[in-house]
Chain A
Amino acid sequence: MKSNKNGKASSGGGIKDGISSENDAVGQRLRDFFSAIEDEDIPDRFLDLLNKLDAAESASRQLADTSTGRGAKDGR
């Protein structure tokens, strides 16, 4: 995903991310802090929300397909 590692505004040459250097204590603590949050379960409210949005979208798509006579669509 991280395709563009080299800043185009910078003068080329491998950018060394100072923060991720092994002996950077601040960087390490930041990563620990961040990943502790990241590792939490996603709250149900977001899963519910996405399910609702998805269901509403499929329903309206189905309705649109039916009304334009395009018939059944893929999957569910």
Chain B
Amino acid sequence: MADEPANPFKREMLAALPRLRAFAISLCGNASQADDLVQDTVLKAWSHQDQFEPGTNMIAWLITILRNQFYSLMRKAGREVQDSDGIFTEAMATHPAQYGSMDMLDFRRALNQLPPDQREAIILIGASGMSYDEAAGICNCAVGTIKSRVNRARAKLHELLGIADSNDYGPDAVSSPLVKRAFVA
């Protein structure tokens, strides 16, 4: 509907917005706080666009900015942003169509019960299309750390959602040995 923007930076930013916003909502579990984070991120990214290297992954860059904002807000607030019925209700009211099914609601509630570091890891790897390398860069930690966070997040979600333990934990050629090592060490 809007005509094609002439500014390539703007065009790329527009294209990245849906994913950035989905990341924000998944990470902080609160749609209105998430949209504030997205807005701050857009402003910050725009004013620092000279720091963006064209041809690199715009979404990874934006997510890095958003994530830093999120954690600095959390530190300022001196508390972790956790699931609460208030947040949960607000999300339902804001997005009745999308989050209306019990599946979605259950999932959202379970996701919000994860520690933020595990939550972001599983969102980045499992939904945002980031590679382990990119996720490690975004979270400023080792690839192995991302892998073990993802595995812990996955195990916890299985437990919270009461998903029957069939062969859901398909052996992961790389990360399961890593996790085993981490637990043994």
With a CB–CB cut-off of 8 A, which chain A residues contact B128? 34
Q: Is A72 an interface residue (CB 8 A)?
A: no
With a CB–CB cut-off of 8 A, which chain A residues contact B143? 7-10
Task: Check B175–A18 contact: CB distance below 8 A.
Answer: yes
| A-B contacts, 25 listed (Cβ < 8 Å) | A2-B130, A5-B133, A7-B131, A7-B132, A7-B133, A7-B143, A9-B136, A10-B144, A19-B125, A25-B168, A26-B158, A30-B107, A30-B123, A31-B126, A33-B26, A33-B127, A34-B26, A34-B127, A35-B22, A37-B22, A42-B17, A45-B35, A46-B17, A49-B43, A54-B5
Contact with B along A1-41 (1 / 0, CB 8 A): 11011111110011111111101111101111111111110
Q: Is A43 an interface residue (CB 8 A)?
A: yes
B12-33: which have CB < 8 Å to A?
A: 13-14, 17-19, 21-22, 25-26
Contacts A29-B161, A33-B26: A54 and B10 contacting too (C-beta < 8 A)? yes
Task: Name which of B5, B22, B42 has the most chain A CB atoms within 10 A of its CB.
Answer: B22
Q: How large is the interface on A (under 10, 10 to 19, 20 to 34, 35 or more residues)?
A: 35 or more
Cα distance A39–B21 when bound, in Å? 10
Task: Check B136–A50 contact: CB distance below 8 A.
Answer: no
Least CB distance, B97 to chain A, in whole angstroms: 9
Give me the interface of A with B, judged by CB distance under 8 Å: 1-2, 4-10, 13-21, 23-27, 29-40, 42-43, 45-47, 49-50, 53-54, 57-58, 75-76
Cα distance A4–B133 when bound, in Å? 7
With a CB–CB cut-off of 8 A, which chain B residues contact A5? 131, 133
Contacts A17-B125, A19-B126: A26 and B154 contacting too (C-beta < 8 A)? yes
Closest to B137 in A: A4
